[in-house]
Structure 1
């Protein structure tokens, strides 16, 4: 049911008002454990677009009763997937709650694997060129992983809270099942940590490529400046107004200076090529 339907629900539902307030002011995933009931709020990232506002859902558990509050349809889709599952024992509500929690993270590993493939693809692109929009793409991935990382931490805290409730409202035998769920979330948390480290290394690679490009530009500017220094010296000499400057009044003086300039440029280019300063990026 949605939040309005739950608000209008008649009957004795302890701490009902607290759940409504928590859902309206949802900041993070959290669980509340009381003697008569359990309830929790879920703030679920939209993996199709992690920039969007997360889905908000909630659940309310008491003896022989389990209610899901879902305005976005996320929990409804999970319930549709698990409707044919078989549950053993008598604690149907607790098992159903655990099945929904598992449904929340069933598709996380394939999604994280796609992120890893995207990072590998970006690394290959970065070795060939430096796209202008690379910082924007990298920042988007870092934000996405940060949101998922936060979500897993909150889920892990919630699962540990519910493990502590085993034997009170939840059946004691379910404690191991919640422990398994906690381990799954913990592995996802570690997975996102590794991806975030890979993104940091990718940022360092990007910065290294930028530094290399800047060094190449500075090297080329230095080469060009060095090539034209002797020519500037020649121009300065022959720009002085002295009558006894060599070659000034000779018939072939201008041609001689042009040939001298070409020889100087040729010698300089040969020197720089020998030192490897004129090789292009692909050959280097």
Structure 2
């Protein structure tokens, strides 16, 4: 690896360059990096990276800072995250190309990673159509949280690329400016892909809600049919339940049978009517 790239701990950099350290971590509470950024100065570019961990994008981030001049590119990382990424870097002569290559390595496997989300959502859709899915709300909420974290990340990393592209253009380096522009386009495509996946997840959520509404409508339909059928019978039961002495049916030996027959006829008539109106389909 080029001698122009160095990795130091937060403590070492803070001790050697306290003013620059305050610039890099300005606005970061207790030194906790929350987002990706790039700030241009007269002779340097500083900033931070907050990369969602692919194992848990919504909760865990790989964070570190950086400081770049023409002579040196310093990464500020107390762990091994930067060193692991640097293993895949090429040996360029300028710090700008080294930083660009580093950022390319960060996004190297992200397209395949995002395709795994498409596969997850497709599987959820298939299970949803079969009606065999459990804990759908929890699963889709987890996916949407992770996609939201990735969406913010790609938007931020594209902004970093734009700052570096502008810096290269103002220094008259057309090649570097062009390559940083390509990086911005790549980050933009990943951002667009995440937005499409979020839209896909929203469609699945709406489909699930539609299925719930349809089941509730079926239940209400059954209750309505039952209520419609037994309402006249309830009226008859209430009517003769008053036991007025002048009701001849109560003293007739055929009264009980007549009432039963009348109820059966009413039920048959109602069922025929409901069937004709397609209530049972």
TM bin, normalised by shorter chain, reads 0.7 to 0.9
Which has the larger displacement, 248-257 or 186-195?
Answer: 248-257
Q: Is the 8 A contact 1:55 1:72 kept in 2?
A: no
- TM-score with structure 2 length normalisation? 0.84
Change (3 A) 1:167 1:113: closer
- Please point out which of 143, 146, 171 is paired with 2:145: 143
Deviation at 1:273, TM superposition (A): 3.9
Partner of 2:57: 50
**Structure 2 residue 125 is matched with structure 1 residue 123:** yes
Deviation at 1:25, TM superposition (A): 4.9
Q: Distance in 2 between matches of 1:163 and 1:111?
A: 26
Which has the larger displacement, 238-247 or 33-42?
Answer: 238-247
- TM-score with structure 1 length normalisation? 0.83
Change (3 A) 1:274 1:86: farther
Q: Write the deviation string for residues 212-241 of structure 1: whole angstroms up to 9, x where unpaired.
A: 222222212211110111111210222122
Deviation at 1:123, TM superposition (A): 2.6
Is there any run of 5+ residues in structure 1 with no aligned partner, and where?
Answer: 280-284
**Structure 2 residue 263 is matched with structure 1 residue 258:** no
Alpha-carbon RMSD across the aligned residues, in angstroms, is: 2.7
Deviation at 1:274, TM superposition (A): 4.3
- Please point out which of 215, 218, 223 is paired with 1:216: 218
Moved over 6 A (4+): none
Deviation at 1:202, TM superposition (A): 2.5
Q: Distance in 1 between matches of 2:279 and 2:88?
A: 63
Partner of 2:5: none
Partner of 2:176: 174
Partner of 1:282: none
Partner of 1:200: 202
Partner of 2:44: 37
Change (3 A) 1:107 1:252: farther
**Structure 2 residue 47 is matched with structure 1 residue 18:** no
Equivalent position SS for 2:251 = coil
Is there any run of 5+ residues in structure 2 with no aligned partner, and where?
Answer: 1-7
